[in-house]
Chain A
């Protein structure tokens, strides 16, 4: 006799594949499920596309993807941000290339159709052949619904889903807290590390609220930092927690004293920042400003995971982009203080380089672990991914549920949202 969990995967419905304490391996491996995700998740909910600082001026644009669909994020002359499908309405060529830049308009390179920054079709070369029958008003670049919270820009293909602020719900207060690492200056995205790993996107989604892996996978990073930092990052088994925030969002608080970066500013400045603090004092910053800036440089003590593709992770934005069922692209965007002291921003940049990116002391080890998850998932296709850690101690809160810092509560929350969207 076989138990329910030993059933061959073909017999399971999508809903069956997400249980309260586990998900089916096919969520990492089945190309048909991936295709459904592009439609039911990425084309059906709010997806993060940019931070406002990435499109700072009229004409600034960024090319990105929603699922696998190329989109342009662009600011128009009235400062309104548009998210436009990067596809000429004539015969489909992309009208904008390059990761970021500035332009006055979008002109298709194939036949020269031109569009204004808000996507409206402006000009068509040699229009006489259409004999006035071209519905120019109907043939602008397809424009998606765009909303912003705390400088974070999200877009959706759906006009009938809830407003962004409702979708974010309790995650908003964590976004507000995260933005305090501007240290009194506006937050600015100042570049990013991009890398791919041969594995499913949800493996990375899970990792953002996975404290459990940190001491093991990041042992070599921990060996490269000072003792005070080692103690700060020794959070597994500590007083931190993971809290579900609704709609698949969750937060993992690793370092509770660094939830609000403006609290307890009179606490001693950590040894590793002594030199930076002195440099700021030498530049004439007042003691409180020095403390606020130094605190901000260190980053927040939590990772906020916003379903499905963005995380506010300690000191950077983690962006996730599915490529195929077995390939995912990740961007780790560095955050600096716009107009802030150069020495402080240099410290942020060097800290980002230390852990993140293909040559960092952290990212490559994460990437190796995820790659091995995907490889291992090709064995035992009737087996399950176990997500029951911290389930026993889970308690309800005003915003959702909470459990210990290394609980898989955030992952369970994300998969429940996955199930809701996939079976809608």
Chain B
């Protein structure tokens, strides 16, 4: 088992999680390849995201718009902004071809907004492209455990 790689991947993904919990969106937007996709599918078994309905399937332009919306103060569902604390763990490297590392992990996220606390668990799969000393995200697929259930508004980035 390549524990050095796990450590490197974990350090990168913990940093990403921390950025999102603390609203460091400009840095988050820079963590992606230009062709990167941020995907939240409905069906947990789905693999053809392009040709199916997802909760989100954001390319670079949509990610930038999503970030702009969160900070705009124009959206009543995100004012006040929800507070989130997420834990990311159970990292497992699924593939590594030298250029791209595919890693799967578990994410447990608590959200609090106004007077309601919610809990979202998800399997998250990343495709990370190696760069000098770090990674860029090419795919982030968030499979919510309850994605097929009725959800309420998610006014932040999973």
Across the interface, name the chain A residue whose C-beta is closest to B158: A359
Q: Which B20-72 residues sit within 8 Å CB-CB of chain A? A: 40, 42, 50-57, 62, 65-66, 68-69, 72
* Nearest-Cβ distance from residue A176 to partner chain B, whole angstroms: 25
B98 lies within 8 A of chain A by Cβ: no
B117 lies within 8 A of chain A by Cβ: no
* Nearest-Cβ distance from residue B48 to partner chain A, whole angstroms: 10
Contact check: which of A195, A219, A224, A365 meets B68 at CB < 8 Å? A224
Contact check: which of B40, B65, B76 meets A217 at CB < 8 Å? B76
Task: Tell me if B77 and A353 are in contact (CB < 8 A).
Answer: no
A220 lies within 8 A of chain B by Cβ: yes
B137-154 interface bits toward A, Cβ cutoff 8 Å, 1 = contact, 0 = none: 000000000001111111
Task: Tell me if B153 and A329 are in contact (CB < 8 A).
Answer: no
A400 lies within 8 A of chain B by Cβ: no
A123 lies within 8 A of chain B by Cβ: no
Task: Tell me if A364 and B77 are in contact (CB < 8 A).
Answer: yes
Contact check: which of B53, B56, B57 meets A334 at CB < 8 Å? B53
Task: Tell me if B52 and A368 are in contact (CB < 8 A).
Answer: no
Contact check: which of A197, A224, A349 meets B69 at CB < 8 Å? A224
Task: Tell me if A329 and B150 are in contact (CB < 8 A).
Answer: yes
A322-334 interface bits toward B, Cβ cutoff 8 Å, 1 = contact, 0 = none: 0000000100001
Q: A220-B75, A223-B69, A368-B76 are in contact. Are A353 and B148 (CB under 8 A)?
A: no
Task: Tell me if A353 and B42 are in contact (CB < 8 A).
Answer: no
Across the interface, name the chain A residue whose C-beta is closest to B52: A191
CA distance A375 to B158 in the complex (A): 28
A363 lies within 8 A of chain B by Cβ: yes
Q: Which A169-211 residues sit within 8 Å CB-CB of chain B? A: 190-197
B74 lies within 8 A of chain A by Cβ: yes
The residues of A that contact B52 with a CB separation of less than 8 Å are: 190-191, 349
Task: Tell me if A220 and B152 are in contact (CB < 8 A).
Answer: no
Contact check: which of A194, A223, A346, A354 meets B51 at CB < 8 Å? A346
Task: Tell me if A99 and B75 are in contact (CB < 8 A).
Answer: no
The residues of A that contact B155 with a CB separation of less than 8 Å are: 364
A119 lies within 8 A of chain B by Cβ: no
The residues of B that contact A219 with a CB separation of less than 8 Å are: 74-75
CA distance A342 to B53 in the complex (A): 13
Across the interface, name the chain B residue whose C-beta is closest to A330: B150
Q: A191-B42, A345-B51 are in contact. Are A368 and B153 (CB under 8 A)?
A: yes
Q: A195-B150, A334-B53, A354-B62 are in contact. Are A364 and B40 (CB under 8 A)?
A: no
Interface residues on A, range: 20 to 34
CA distance A148 to B92 in the complex (A): 51
A48 lies within 8 A of chain B by Cβ: no
A361 lies within 8 A of chain B by Cβ: yes
Task: Tell me if B77 and A194 are in contact (CB < 8 A).
Answer: no
B74-116 interface bits toward A, Cβ cutoff 8 Å, 1 = contact, 0 = none: 1111100000000000000000000000000000000000000
The residues of B that contact A192 with a CB separation of less than 8 Å are: 53
Of B51, B53, B56, chain A has the most CB atoms within 10 Å of the CB of B53
A234-248 interface bits toward B, Cβ cutoff 8 Å, 1 = contact, 0 = none: 000000000000000
Task: Tell me if B77 and A367 are in contact (CB < 8 A).
Answer: yes
* Nearest-Cβ distance from residue B76 to partner chain A, whole angstroms: 5
Contact check: which of B57, B77, B153, B154 meets A350 at CB < 8 Å? B57
Q: A99-B148, A365-B76, A369-B76 are in contact. Are A359 and B65 (CB under 8 A)?
A: no
CA distance A352 to B153 in the complex (A): 15
Contact check: which of B55, B69, B150 meets A361 at CB < 8 Å? B69
The residues of A that contact B149 with a CB separation of less than 8 Å are: 194
CA distance A270 to B113 in the complex (A): 39
The residues of A that contact B54 with a CB separation of less than 8 Å are: 349, 353
A357 lies within 8 A of chain B by Cβ: yes
CA distance A136 to B50 in the complex (A): 49
Across the interface, name the chain B residue whose C-beta is closest to A222: B74
Of B68, B76, B155, chain A has the most CB atoms within 10 Å of the CB of B76
The residues of B that contact A345 with a CB separation of less than 8 Å are: 51
The residues of A that contact B150 with a CB separation of less than 8 Å are: 194-196, 329
A390 lies within 8 A of chain B by Cβ: no
CA distance A193 to B65 in the complex (A): 20
A-B contact pairs, 19 of them (CB 8 A): A190-B53, A191-B52, A194-B151, A195-B153, A220-B69, A223-B72, A224-B65, A224-B68, A224-B69, A329-B150, A349-B57, A350-B57, A352-B53, A361-B69, A364-B75, A364-B77, A365-B75, A367-B77, A368-B77
Where the two chains meet, the residues of B that have a C-beta atom closer than 8 Å to any C-beta of A are 40, 42, 50-57, 62, 65-66, 68-69, 72, 74-78, 148-155, 158
Sample of 4 more A-B contacts, CB < 8 Å, known A364-B155, A367-B77: A191-B52, A196-B150, A361-B75, A367-B153
